[in-house]
Amino acid sequence: MGETKTQATSKKESSLVRDASAALTPSFLFDLDGTLVDCVYQHVLAWREALEQAGIQLAVWRIHRRIGMSGGLFVNALLRETKRDISAEEGDQLRRLHAEAYARKTKEIRPLPGALDLLRYLSEMGVPYAIATSGRMESAGPMLELLRLDPRVPVVTRDQVQFAKPNPDLFLAAAERLNVSISDCVVVGDSVWDLLAARRARALGVGLLSGELVQRGRVSQRPESNLLSGH
Amino acid sequence: MGETKTQATSKKESSLVRDASAALTPSFLFDLDGTLVDCVYQHVLAWREALEQAGIQLAVWRIHRRIGMSGGLFVNALLRETKRDISAEEGDQLRRLHAEAYARKTKEIRPLPGALDLLRYLSEMGVPYAIATSGRMESAGPMLELLRLDPRVPVVTRDQVQFAKPNPDLFLAAAERLNVSISDCVVVGDSVWDLLAARRARALGVGLLSGELVQRGRVSQRPESNLLSGH
């Protein structure tokens, strides 16, 4: 009898655990650049080239610490570093020069170690995920190819929302495309802007060490804080 | 009379100040990569290419946080990240692959903003300075050309000393070439290894934000800590 009772209890507990676990299974919303793809340094150097072509000299580390913002905010922040104002036209030209310089560097770019394994694992486990990037499809396209992304995975780019990070729009749109509640989503990103956007969207934000957060000194550099194996 | 006395005092004080200032005029020992030349990101990406050619996948940020060590220590530290051992031969091959990849990127590299002005100002003021780099002459040569360095400025490279930074040898040799006491020298560098080497040499170390210190989170990122104008 004791045994039977134990079995009954176990079965009940196990069923409770399964239910709880089903309710708690999150969906993942991934940032792209610097989170799944190791392209931050190429972005930084492409901005240096673009700025130089526009007659602006700026040290590379000053560019790096602004990376992760959306294009518009980023250009304005960079130009505050140089104490210059630019017109909307000049800003557009800078973004075009950057896109051209970045395209020339695409062949050097690789997925972050572990990223392909992680995405494959999530797919195998049936865990929903989407990509939400401040980049435009023009730059994001080659990165998505690197990740060999299943075409069914939703991808939201800067072209599809009104405001980029740190506004929550990109992550909200990605959750909608997955047909899940944003409060059941985990946002994974490497920049302060990802985590600000996650908080504004009321999702749980997880910061990686692979990119801009280390630069900003906003997170510790202890290996055990690093969530993706191999990152 | 009052006026005369004041003038006499002023003259005496002014002469004292001059003497003290002459005794206190330091010489400067500059690190090269990341301190005078904005080449750290190109070094990092050249190491990524070299490692990939040797069959080793490593995230760019993991490479960056080891930059500034001498070649030998650096390769060992990188390989600890991958939990691999390599032979002396494989280490030499990695360094050769890095030098080749770096040479391909030289045309993208610029002096740090303000560096040329600073060196010109020191020359005009008759303040002695030298360069002490953990790099070998093969990689340093093109960087020295970028700085349009007066050929009379002493340059000590890794080829000329037994131990590189964080050992003090490079800075001790540079002070000797200037014919000044190391304790009258200010060491200016961007990496923890520069500052460790400065301390071991008993020179005053000054850390810049332009390179590896920001990555390591060892210094604050307040602009006012930044000593070289424009950096």
**Identity of the residue numbered B115:** A
Distance from CA of B220 to the nearest CA of A (A): 9
pLDDT at B172: 98
Tell me: do B166 and B206 sit in the same domain: yes
Q: Is residue B5 part of a domain?
A: no
The residue ranking higher by pLDDT, A18 or B72, is B72
- The β-bridge partners of A185 are A27
| SS3 assignment, position A154 | coil
- Which phi and psi (to 5°) does residue A207 adopt? -95, 135
- The β-bridge partners of B37 are B33, B111
- Strand boundaries in A124-196, DSSP class E: 129-132, 155-156, 185-189
The arithmetic mean of pLDDT across residues A19-24, rounded, is: 50
Tell me: do B96 and B167 sit in the same domain: no
pLDDT at A77: 77
The total domain count for chain A is 2
Tell me: do B122 and B169 sit in the same domain: yes
Whichever domain contains B103, its CATH number is 1.10.150.240
Tell me: do A177 and A162 sit in the same domain: yes
CA-to-CA distance for A3 and A9, rounded, in angstroms? 10
Q: Is residue A48 part of a domain?
A: yes
Residue ranges making up the domain that contains A116:
13-39+110-216
- Which phi and psi (to 5°) does residue A131 adopt? -110, 135
Tell me: do A46 and A26 sit in the same domain: no
pLDDT of A86 over the 70 cut: yes
Tell me: do A30 and A100 sit in the same domain: no
- Single out the residue in B53, B76, B107 at which a domain terminates: B107
Per-residue pLDDT of chain B (231 residues; tens, 9 = 90+): 344 444 444 444 444 444 444 456 899 999 999 999 999 899 999 999 999 999 888 899 888 877 755 566 677 777 777 777 777 888 889 889 999 999 999 999 999 999 999 999 999 999 999 999 988 888 899 999 999 998 899 999 999 999 988 899 999 999 999 999 999 999 999 888 899 999 999 999 999 876 555 544 444 333 333 333 333
pLDDT at A181: 96
Sheet holding B185-189, edge to edge: B155-156, B129-132, B27-30, B185-189, B204-207
Tell me: do A34 and A121 sit in the same domain: yes
On whether the CB atoms of residues A40 and A34 are closer than 8 A, the answer is yes
Task: Pick the closest to residue B113 from B38, B218, B165, B188 (CA basis).
Answer: B38
Whichever domain contains A151, its CATH number is 3.40.50.1000
Is ipTM > 0.85 here? no
Q: Is residue B4 part of a domain?
A: no
Q: Are β-strands B129-132 and B27-30 bridged in parallel, bridged antiparallel, or unpaired?
A: parallel
Chain A residues near residue B231 by CB distance under 8 angstroms = 59
On whether the CB atoms of residues B170 and B134 are closer than 8 A, the answer is yes
Tell me: do B195 and B148 sit in the same domain: yes
- Single out the residue in B107, B136, B154 at which a domain terminates: B107
Chain B residues near residue A45 by CB distance under 8 angstroms = 41-42, 45, 108
Task: Pick the closest to residue B67 from B88, B83, B43 (CA basis).
Answer: B43
Q: Among partner residues B41, B59, B230, which is closest to A112 by beta-carbon distance?
A: B59
- CA A55, distance to chain mean position in Å, is 31
Q: What is the pLDDT of residues A154-213, one digit of tens each?
A: 999 999 999 988 899 999 999 999 999 999 999 999 888 899 999 999 999 999 876 555
pLDDT at A87: 79
Chain A residues near residue B211 by CB distance under 8 angstroms = 61
Distance from CA of B99 to the nearest CA of A (A): 17
Tell me: do A117 and A17 sit in the same domain: yes
The reply to whether residue A59 touches residue B231, judged by beta carbons under 8 angstroms, is yes
Picking from B33, B40, B41, B105 by the largest number of A CB atoms within 10 A of its own CB, the best residue to mutate is: B41
Q: Where are the alpha helices (DSSP H) in A38-83?
A: 40-53, 60-64, 71-81
Q: Is residue A63 part of a domain?
A: yes
- Which phi and psi (to 5°) does residue B126 adopt? 70, 20
Query: How many CA atoms, within 13 angstroms, populate the side-chain half-sphere of residue B68?
Result: 26
- Single out the residue in B52, B81, B107 at which a domain terminates: B107
Tell me: do A90 and A33 sit in the same domain: no
Q: Is residue B225 part of a domain?
A: no
Q: Is residue B190 part of a domain?
A: yes
* Burial category of A151 from C-beta neighbours within 10 Å (exposed 0-12, middle 13-18, buried 19 and up): exposed
Tell me: do A101 and A160 sit in the same domain: no
How big is the A-B interface in CB pairs under 8 Å?
A: 67
Any idea which of A42-56, A95-109, B18-32, B150-164 has the lowest mean pLDDT? B18-32
The reply to whether residue A44 touches residue B41, judged by beta carbons under 8 angstroms, is yes
Closest residue in chain A to residue B61, using alpha carbons only: A210
Distance from CA of A166 to the nearest CA of B (A): 21
Q: Is residue B79 part of a domain?
A: yes
- The β-bridge partners of A213 are none
Q: Does B45 touch chain A (CB under 8 A)?
A: yes
Q: Does B49 touch chain A (CB under 8 A)?
A: yes
Q: Is residue B231 part of a domain?
A: no
Tell me: do B125 and B95 sit in the same domain: no
The residue ranking higher by pLDDT, A173 or A217, is A173
